[in-house]
Structure 1
Amino acid sequence: MATVNNYVFSTHKLSLPTKPFSYSIAFSISSTKFHPQLKKNHKPYPLSLIKSIAEDKEVVTEKIGEPDKQNTSELESRDEGLKRFAGKAVNASIVLGFGTLAVTRLLTIDHEYWHGWTLYEILRYAPEHNWIAYEEALKENPVLAKMMISGIVYSLGDWIAQCYEGKPLFEFDRTRLFRSGLVGFTLHGSLSHYYYQLCEALIPFQDWWVVPAKVAFDQTVWSAVWNSIYFVVLGLLRFESPANIFSELKTTFLPLLTAGWKLWPFAHLITYGLIPVEQRLLWVDCVELVWVTILSTYSNEKSEARISDTTSEVDPNTSSKKR
């Protein structure tokens, strides 16, 4: 120890700490402490402003979703257009295919004898030789030949009926056309064959009153039977219930029977007065092109009206929209 001018100094050395110091300071800042007026001046947002913001969000969401709806509608319309075009192509191929086949068969009846023939000779002898072939088919298998003719006639009649109803030429209903042709093939050809033979057996006389009697019998008994068969079978092929079929038959029986009296009595004066028994169905089928148009149109109008009434009963909004 040393003493200088009454001051005492210690010569001991300072000893530094062996372990380092660790400092940890926690800061907690609250806005209310520094700015106490914020808490007092803070007010909640008004409800009108919140509602307007929510409505703006909904409008923005709807605007964002609108392009999706437009794209969906465009895709649906495009699909409908493609389906319609495909249906028209199929129908056109059916019509052109069967038409080409029929015309080819009719014109090439004499193709085995064409050697040295001119076009005039081919066209001149084709109708006569087709008629001879038809008579030979009637001798070999009369029922099948008449079934084929009735099936073709009923299909053509239904096609004409659909065109008459306003459908384009190649936008016909193939299922409806098939149903009508099936009824003509399976029922009309065979039943008519046996009916004309039965009519000749019931009234075998040759007096003047025979033709009017046959026409009256045809337009009462046979017309009532055949119209009923046609309606019932078409309804079954459409998978309708028996109750709906018979209700439609009751409402259309008399109007359809009386509608036939405007056409068939005049046609049957030729049927029973001039044409032989075996050739009668061919003449009747030619007139059937007009009558099947009426039958098919009447049947399908009643079916579509019933379907629309059922739909309006299930969904009343559809009937209000139609009005």
Structure 2
Amino acid sequence: MATIAIIGRIYQQSFDARPHLTLATANGTLSAIGDVVAQSLNKAFPEPNQRPIPYDIQRTVRFFCFGVGMGPIIGRWNQFLEHTFPLRTNSRSTVSMSALAKRVFFDQTVMAPIGIAMFLGSMGVMEGRSNSQLREKYSSLFFPALLANWKVWPAAQLINFRYMPLPYRVPFSQSCGVFWTLYLSLLNAKQDKAQDTNDKKRQTIDA
């Protein structure tokens, strides 16, 4: 517990001094951890007749870069929700369940679709995908990812918005999001594999 308290104190001091850099670093690190877990599981539990897959460090770097970029954006979004839908009118008042519900609703109907769209687009660009491949990625993955998001994140964000102080909301959501990143990583890798297979088939036909 003492170690956790020390880490929490260091994080709070860093957030107070450099909030955007702190959020970017924390979010990027946790995003990278999610991809490390995903790749480790792929190696530990390969598909039948699948050749051994070497660890893709560039893929983890892409997840880190995306997390770094999204950290300050999510931090600003949390500030917007905090000021637009205050949970208490004063320190002695009870928590407004209506305001809490509005926070979760707007988070899931506004930020969730934007976040997924930015993830798919950013990953596609960093992977060097063509415009047609990006369109295919959006067509194949956007709505399945959004529906999966709505099954998981409303409950997590309800806890986050209700109990976590503002500086800790991005790290909390991204800590929960290690498993979400695991899902996105596996989903994105599956789509990349399918696109690469289709490209090889087209090259063979053209040849």
TM bin, normalised by shorter chain, reads: 0.7 to 0.9
TM-fit CA distance, 1:243: 2.3
Q: Is the 8 A contact 2:33 2:178 kept in 1?
A: yes
1:211 to 2:83 alignment: no
**Paired residues, number:** 192
Q: Is the 8 A contact 1:232 1:246 kept in 2?
A: no
Q: CA deviation at 1:200?
A: 1.8
Query: Is 1:191 paired with 2:73?
Result: yes
Contact 2:87-2:100 within 8 A present in 1 as well: no
% identity of equivalent residues: 21
Find the counterpart in structure 1 of residue 83 from structure 2: 201
Instruction: Deviation per CA, 1:22-65: give whole Å up to 9, x if none.
Output: xxxxxxxxxxxxxxxxxxxxxxxxxxxxxxxxxxxxxxxxxxxx
1:281: how far off?
Answer: 0.9
Query: 3-state DSSP class of the match of 1:127?
Result: helix
Contact 2:12/2:167 (CA < 8 Å) preserved in 1?
A: no
- Name 2:123's counterpart in structure 1: 234
Q: Which amino acid aligns with 2:73?
A: L
Are 2:133 and 1:244 aligned? yes
Report deviation, 1:171.
Answer: 4.0
The aligned counterpart of 2:182 is: 293
Mapping 1:265-304, distance limit 5 Å? 265-304=154-193
Tell me if the contact between 2:85 and 2:100 (Cα under 8 Å) persists in the aligned partners: no
AA in 2 matched with 1:220: T
Alignment partner, residue 254 of structure 1 = 143
CA distance in structure 1 between the aligned counterparts of 2:71 and 2:103, rounded to whole angstroms: 19
Which structure 1 segments of 5+ residues have no match? Answer: 1-123, 317-323
**Would you say 1:141 and 2:23 are equivalent positions?**
no
Aligned-partner Cα distance in 1 for 2:116–2:175: 18
Q: Is contact 1:157–1:292 with CA below 8 Å preserved after alignment? A: yes
- Give the 3-state SS of the residue equivalent to 1:312 in structure 2: helix
Determine which of 156, 176, 183 is the counterpart of 2:33. Answer: 156
Consecutive aligned runs of 4 or more in structure 1 exceeding 6 Å deviation: none
State the SS of the aligned residue for 2:43.
Answer: coil
Larger Rg: 1
What do residues 248-271 of structure 1 show as CA deviations (whole Å, max 9, x unaligned)? 112211111000122111111111
Give structure 2 stretches of 5+ with no counterpart: 46-52, 89-95
SS for the counterpart of 1:209 is helix
Q: Does 1:130 align with 2:7?
A: yes
CA RMSD of the aligned region, Å? Answer: 2.0
Partner SS for 1:132: helix
Q: What is the deviation of 1:166?
A: 3.2
| Separation (CA, whole Å) in 1 of partners of 2:62 and 2:44 | 18
Matched residue type, 1:243: S
Deviation at 1:164, TM superposition (A): 2.4
C-alpha separation between the residues in 2 aligned to 1:199 and 1:144? 21
Please tell me whether the aligned partners of residues 223 and 257 of structure 1 are also in contact (alpha carbons under 8 angstroms).
Answer: yes
Counterpart-to-counterpart distance in 2, 1:299 and 1:129: 36
User: Are positions 1:166 and 2:43 aligned together?
Assistant: yes
Deviations 1:93-152 (A, max 9, x none): xxxxxxxxxxxxxxxxxxxxxxxxxxxxxxx63322221111111110111111111111
| TM-score, normalised by the number of residues in structure 1 | 0.56
Per the normalisation by structure 2, the TM-score is 0.86
Q: How many Å separate the matches in 1 of 2:192 and 2:84?
A: 37
